[in-house]
Amino acid sequence: MWGVIVTNQTGVILGMILLQLVVVVIMIRYILALKKLKRQYHDLLKYSPGQNLDDLLLHLGTRVSANEEALASLDKNLNYWIEQGKCHMQKWALLRYKAFANSGGDQSFSFALLDAEGDGIVLSSICGRDESRIYAKTIKKGKSSYALSSEEVEVIRQALES
């Protein structure tokens, strides 16, 4: 066996040099990867000086838990206010019209004020030459238990579409 090595000494030396070059290239790649990893580690720890990675991860875990609790509370409050908002008057429409042929201008009106469910009131003011009358009617789901004029029906429709 030593005889083969001695006779092919040049080939063996070139093979060893090639093998060392491959090892050096691999080591350089690992050194560069290690430098990158070290830089990332220092970047991660720069926001918490004096701590190690374990302390930082525990701190971040605690913060995530606290944020999840705060988010759940905010979600609960948001749902509460969404439900409350449905009860507030938010849809409205106003329709002015001339109730009588002998009165001047569009002095009469119907005004609908409804919540998200279509519940609320419709106010109508009928103005004549000598007198004015105001009517208020309750509305449930866009309908009334009282007889509605065509103007009141129209103003409720407009409010529901707004």
**What distance in Å separates the CA atoms of residue 139 and residue 119, rounded to the nearest whole number?**
5
pLDDT score for 56: 76
What is the pLDDT, as a whole number, of residue 159?
A: 94
pLDDT at 114: 94
Q: What's the Cα-to-Cα distance from 94 to each of 7, 124, 142, 152, 159, rounded to whole Å?
A: 110, 10, 15, 10, 8
Note whether 112 and 139 are within 8 A (CB): yes
The residue type found at 35 is K
Looking at residue 2, its pLDDT comes to: 62
Whole-structure pTM value: 0.55
pLDDT for 5 equals 65
Q: HSE of 113 in the Cβ direction (CA atoms, 13 Å)? A: 9
Residues of the chain scoring pLDDT < 70: 1-6, 47-50, 103-104
**Surface-to-core class of residue 114, CB atoms within 10 Å of its CB (0-12 exposed, 13-18 middle, 19+ buried):** buried
pLDDT (0 to 100) of residue 148? 94
Q: At what angle do helices 9-45 and 53-86 cross, to 10 degrees?
A: 50
